[in-house]
Amino acid sequence: MVVEPPSGTRLGAPPADVLPWPSLLVLGAGTLLMVTAEMLPTAVLEQMSTGLGVAESSTGLLVSMWAAVVVVLSFPLVRLTHRWDRRAVIAGGLAVLALSSALTALAPTFPVAAGARVLGASAVGLLWATTNAHVADLVSDRLLGRAIAVVLGGATLGMVVGTPLARLVADAAGWRAAFWALAALSLLGAVVVRLVVARAVGTGGTTADGASPDAGGAALAPQRGMGRLLAVTGLVALVLVGHYGAYTYVTRLTEAPAQALPGGMGSLLLVFGLASAVGVALAGRLGDRSGPALVVSVAATALTVLGLGVVDAGPVVGIAVVVAWGVVSGGMPPFAQTLILRLAGPERRSFAGALIPVLFNGGIAVGAALASLVVARSGVSALPALGAVVVGVAAVGLVLAVRRGQPAAWCMIGGASGSDDKR
């Protein structure tokens, strides 16, 4: 169901040409907490399994279950809250995430921990949707790409820093302490959001004078440009299927170059994470060209996934492929989110905000499941070529979807407005 946010006068917004750094950094810290919360069971897998008296495979389900809950509940929760102040929704979501983490830390059995994780996943699905929409309303369209890159930088740090730090806490004080730490930080984050994050358009359900905004325009909005929006999001989902299908077995695919590094696979994964952070930073510089940049990054992702098939040619080649894969795949999500939010426009921003976490979590889940089937039938060596084909098909589709009816998306330079993307 399409969820339409109220559209009205921009309230409390920063100047058009200035990034609201305090708000963006706080929201970025929120995405760091979200990613850390999602991946935390993988960091404490052995300890948590022992503590709950279950097999490691069962504990691993806490991550896949999380993704499924986000996919199922994001849209209903956005519809329920779409007229609330988005800052209150984000702060409330972080408070619920804190409660979920505390309940997980206290859980005496696996079913209790699973129930707590469902609660946390529900909160994070709403958090992602609301954060995406709020960031888009905080800045002018010209700065949207940079703003999204700043906020997604937190998510990248969640993978590179958050999860390893959680493991250090677990090693020092037990897995429950890691969840207690996450609970405390999430609660602190909720308070900081209310104190720091600026209000923006559509966050309260009224215009500046308190009136209900533009109901007629919102009612007609779903029919305008929805086809292109859904085409782009569907193709991005296909990219994620191919990319995460390969990434699910990254430790198997990159065994050879990992052996050449001190620290082995841990060091190689850190290199990949740092390269992804570089990709996010580059995306921030190129965000005003989100359409063409997305196509280029997806095509490059296809090539680097294919390159995983030759990583055993030598350590230099293997590490170079992993670094390139990290950079291009790190830049792809900011480009995709920027383009999706631009195509949606203000009148469909809440819908697009909810579509993004559904898209990413669904792509991860489907990619991992299909990769498991391929590995069972043909072995891990079949993944690079198959993943490259899937991502390559998506790249061709994106060329057609981005160019059709919007040539301005291909010639945006300098201060050109990204608003052309949604026409």
Which CATH number is 205's domain given?
1.20.1250.20
Query: Does residue 315 share a domain with residue 279?
Result: yes
**CA atoms of 257 and 260, how far apart (whole Å):** 5
In a domain, 285, yes or no: yes
Query: Does residue 253 share a domain with residue 293?
Result: yes
User: What does the DSSP assignment read for 112-180?
Assistant: HHHHHHHHHHHHHHHHHHHHHHHHHHHS-GGGHHHHHHHHHHHHHHIIIIIHHHHHHHHHHH-HHHHHH
Domain boundary pick from 213, 230, 259: 213
Query: Does residue 322 share a domain with residue 200?
Result: no
Give pTM, 2 decimals: 0.80
In a domain, 417, yes or no: no
Query: Does residue 144 share a domain with residue 85?
Result: yes
In a domain, 7, yes or no: no
Query: Does residue 309 share a domain with residue 257?
Result: yes
Query: Does residue 48 share a domain with residue 163?
Result: yes
Rounded (10°) angle between helices 45-52 and 56-81: 100
Query: Does residue 159 share a domain with residue 236?
Result: no
Q: Helix, strand, coil shares of the chain as percentages rounded to 5?
A: 80, 0, 20
Query: Does residue 229 share a domain with residue 198?
Result: no
Query: Are 409 and 402 a contacting pair, CB within 8 Å?
Result: yes
In a domain, 1, yes or no: no
Residue 293's closest CA among 405, 413, 392, 390?
413
pLDDT in tens, the chain (423 residues): 434 444 333 444 443 468 999 999 999 999 999 999 998 998 888 899 999 999 887 888 888 889 889 999 999 999 999 889 999 999 999 999 999 999 999 999 999 999 999 999 999 999 999 999 999 889 888 888 899 999 999 998 888 888 888 888 998 999 999 999 999 999 999 999 999 999 875 444 433 333 333 333 343 344 566 888 889 999 999 999 999 889 888 888 999 999 999 988 878 888 998 999 999 989 888 766 778 899 999 999 999 999 999 999 999 999 999 999 999 999 999 999 999 988 888 888 888 888 999 988 888 888 888 988 898 899 989 999 999 999 999 999 999 988 764 544 444 433 333 444 444
In a domain, 239, yes or no: yes
Query: Does residue 188 share a domain with residue 107?
Result: yes
Determine the longest span between alpha carbons in the chain, in angstroms: 66
Total domains in the chain come to: 2
Q: Give the domain range for residue 340.
A: 220-405
Query: Does residue 34 share a domain with residue 110?
Result: yes
Domain boundary pick from 213, 244, 271: 213
- Give the pair of three-digit tokens for residue 401: 């979807």
Domain boundary pick from 150, 178, 213: 213
In a domain, 8, yes or no: no
**CA atoms of 386 and 309, how far apart (whole Å):** 11
Query: Does residue 178 share a domain with residue 154?
Result: yes
In a domain, 421, yes or no: no
In a domain, 414, yes or no: no
Query: Does residue 226 share a domain with residue 95?
Result: no
Residue 349's closest CA among 340, 358, 336?
340
